[in-house]
């Protein structure tokens, strides 16, 4: 059987089964197992099982459930309430100030948690009703929550970065460092957009009326809300960049910080811990099954030598290496509309990373670009996670059309940020070189 036919059968089966609505993990694993049996018989099953065992035997994967657990605790610990009070008092008097404050809180949350859902759900419950009550347009209110929440997978710690580093052998700490400045760049673009638009269209985000504003004393008192978040950020990221802890060990410190925060806010109850454990187990199981299935598929894919064909196809794209890079970004964007980021990592990494390396691009920089693209995937229909989160927490009468319209400016800004980091790679590479040198 020729490599061309094997490639067509493997990816054709993958696309067909996904189009039928079957779960990604079982599609990847099923195609891998059946393909191995057809190609190599009983020996193929050994190849698949050894790959699955190798996938689960990686120490770095322990960080995933720990970061997820930390996020689940922080989501309900009361930290977001105090942060929103802080931003309400400081930013409320500005046009669009509550939306700007929401993006800032999402940025802080992103630096504490490794997933997007924590900030999106927390701000959707706390900030969205407050903004709509004060006359903010749905476009600005829902867009700031959805766009700001998506920063959670780019600003470290980041679960997709851990998966990417595990597959490519890159430093998790280096990837974390690479995501900091691009994440802050996107946050600044969001803030500028909100501020400029609300300045020229005050009805989009009216300032708080004078009677709702507070004194400087109350503003200063509210600053205590940032103490616990700063401590958690230092515990997690500071310990990694200082070389004290690995990412896995730092995730355990983050869990301790989240539990302490819940205790300080008197939210540490058995029901909270039980719910956090259940949600962590469910989300981790989903990621792990995708990982196992993807390793099975990748084992068959690389075992046949089909990856060399895909690499040659990518290298044959006219226009040189920059055209190849742009084509990859377009493929990521399209896949992000349909698949989970973990699955896209598993499918694309074996094909794209060797090509990127052979072209002379930095794989760490490419990893940051990938995560930025997946951040867009969190907002693009029909699969965007944050769209579903928003639909679940939006007030009655909110349609999916309202939600789609709200995310359009933020997806455009994410695209602008991606282009900026492509044109200026040092935005992603300066901090890793500084911390790893």
338 domain residue, yes or no: no
Pick the more confident residue, 414 or 73: 414
pLDDT of residue 25: 76
Quick one: tokens of 124?
A: 């959707």
Per-residue model confidence (pLDDT) at position 264: 87
- pTM: predicted TM-score of the whole model, two decimal places: 0.83
Is pLDDT above 70 for 104?
A: yes
In this predicted structure, what is the pLDDT of residue 430? 94
Calculate mean pLDDT across residues 363-372: 94
Rounded percentage of the chain residues whose pLDDT exceeds 90: 24
Question: For the residues 52-59, what does the mean pLDDT come to?
Answer: 71
Q: Is 146 inside any structural domain?
A: yes
Residues, the chain, total? 437
Total domain count, the chain: 1
In a domain, 106, yes or no: yes
The answer as to whether 74 is a domain residue is yes
Q: With respect to residue 8, please indicate whether it lies within any of the assigned structural domains.
A: no
Mean of the pLDDT values across residues 186-194?
96
Give the side-chain half-sphere CA count within 13 A for 240.
25
pLDDT of the residue at 306: 66
pLDDT of residue 437: 62
- pLDDT > 80? residue 2: no
Mean pLDDT of the chain: 85
The answer to whether residue 194 scores a pLDDT higher than 70 is yes
pLDDT of residue 415: 95
Residue of 357 and 57 predicted with greater confidence: 357
Confidence class of residue 323 from pLDDT cuts 50, 70 and 90?
very high
Residue 112 lies in a domain: yes
pLDDT in tens, 407-419: 999 999 999 999 9
Q: Bin 243: left if φ > 0, else alpha if -120 < ψ < 50, else beta.
A: left
Is pLDDT of 377 > 90? no
User: Is 341 a member of any domain?
Assistant: no
- The boundaries of the domain holding residue 66 are 60-268+371-436
pLDDT for the residue 56: 72
pLDDT tens per residue across span 16-25: 887 787 877 7
Average pLDDT, integer, range 250-254: 87
Does 159 have pLDDT greater than 70?
A: yes
Predicted confidence band of residue 175 (pLDDT cuts 50, 70, 90): very high
Q: pLDDT (tens digit, 9 = 90+) per residue, 255-310?
A: 898 898 888 888 888 898 998 899 888 888 877 887 788 777 777 777 777 667 77
Least confident of 91-105, 244-258, 274-288, 386-400: 386-400
The 10s digit of each residue's pLDDT in 116-146 is: 776 787 788 788 888 888 889 988 999 999 9
Residue 317 has pLDDT above 70, yes or no: yes
pLDDT at 158 over 90: no
Residue 75 to residue 223: CA distance in whole angstroms: 20
Q: Is residue 114 scored above 70 in pLDDT?
A: no
3-state SS record for the chain = CCHHHHHHHHHHHHHHHHHCCCCHHHHHHHHHHHHHHHHHCHHHHHHHHHHHHHHHCCHHHHHHHHHHHHHHHHHHCCHHHHHHHHHHHHHCCCCCHHHHHHHHHHHHHHCCCCCCHHHHHHHHHHHHHHHHHCCCCHHHHHHHHHHHHHHHHCCCCCHHHHHHHHHHCCCHHHHHHHHHHHHHHHHHHHHHHHHHHHHHCHHHCCCCCHHHCCCHHHHHHHHHHHHHHHHHHHHHHHHHHCCCCCHHHHHHHHHHHHHHHHHHCCCCCHHHHHHHHHHHHHHHHHHHHHHHHHHHHHHHHHHCCHHHHHHHHHHCCCCHHHHHHHHHHHHHHHHHCCCCHHHHHHHHHHHHHHHHHHCCCCHHHHHHHHHHHHHHHCCCCCCCHHHHHHHHHCCCCCCHHHHHHHHHHHHHHHHHHHHHHHHCCHHHHHHHHHHHC
- Residue 365 structure tokens: 């920089």
> Does 336 map to a domain?
no
What is the percent of the chain where pLDDT is above 70?
Answer: 97
Range among 243-252, 350-359, 413-422 rated most confident: 413-422
Range in 30-44, 126-140, 312-326 with the lowest mean pLDDT: 30-44
């Amino acid at each position: 059987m020729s490599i061309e036919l094997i490639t067509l059968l493997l990816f054709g089966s993958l696309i067909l089964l996904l189009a039928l609505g079957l779960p990604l993990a079982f599609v990847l694993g099923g195609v891998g197992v059946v393909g191995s049996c057809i190609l190599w018989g009983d020996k193929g099953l050994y190849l698949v099982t050894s790959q699955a065992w190798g996938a689960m035997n990686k120490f770095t994967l322990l960080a995933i459930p720990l970061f997820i657990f930390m996020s689940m605790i922080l989501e309900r610990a009361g930290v977001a309430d105090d942060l929103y009070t802080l931003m309400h008092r400081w930013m409320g008097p500005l046009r669009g100030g509550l939306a700007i404050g929401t993006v800032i809180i999402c940025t802080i949350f992103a630096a504490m948690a490794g997933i997007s859902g924590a900030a999106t759900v927390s701000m959707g419950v706390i900030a969205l009703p407050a903004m709509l009550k004060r006359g903010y347009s749905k476009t600005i209110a829902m867009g700031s929550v959805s766009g700001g929440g998506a920063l959670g997978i780019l600003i470290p710690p980041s679960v997709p970065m851990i998966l990417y580093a595990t597959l490519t052998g890159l430093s998790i700490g280096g990837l974390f460092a690479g995501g900091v400045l691009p994440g802050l760049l996107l946050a600044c673009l969001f803030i500028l957009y909100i501020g400029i638009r609300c300045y020229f269209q005050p009805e989009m985000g009216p300032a708080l009326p004078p009677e709702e504003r507070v004194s400087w004393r109350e503003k200063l008192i509210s600053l205590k809300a940032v103490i616990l978040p700063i401590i958690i950020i230092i515990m997690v990221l500071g310990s990694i960049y200082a070389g004290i802890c690995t990412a896995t060990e730092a995730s355990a410190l983050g869990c301790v910080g989240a539990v302490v925060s819940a205790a300080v806010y008197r939210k540490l109850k058995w029901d909270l811990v039980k719910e956090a454990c259940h949600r962590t187990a469910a989300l981790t199981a989903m990621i792990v099954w995708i990982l196992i299935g993807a390793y099975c598929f990748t084992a068959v894919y690389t075992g046949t030598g089909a990856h060399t064909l895909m690499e040659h196809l990518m290298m044959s794209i006219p226009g040189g290496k920059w055209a190849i890079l742009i084509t990859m970004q377009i493929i990521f964007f399209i896949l992000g509309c349909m698949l989970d980021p973990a699955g896209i990592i598993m499918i694309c990494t074996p094909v794209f990373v060797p090509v990127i390396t052979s072209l002379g691009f930095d794989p760490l920089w490419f990893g940051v670009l990938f995560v930025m693209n997946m951040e867009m995937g969190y907002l693009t229909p029909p699969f965007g996670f944050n769209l579903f989160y928003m639909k679940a927490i939006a007030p009655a009468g909110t349609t999916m059309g309202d939600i789609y319209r709200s995310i359009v400016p933020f997806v455009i800004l994410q695209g602008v940020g991606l282009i900026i980091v492509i044109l200026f790679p040092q935005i992603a590479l300066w901090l890793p070189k500084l911390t790893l040198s």
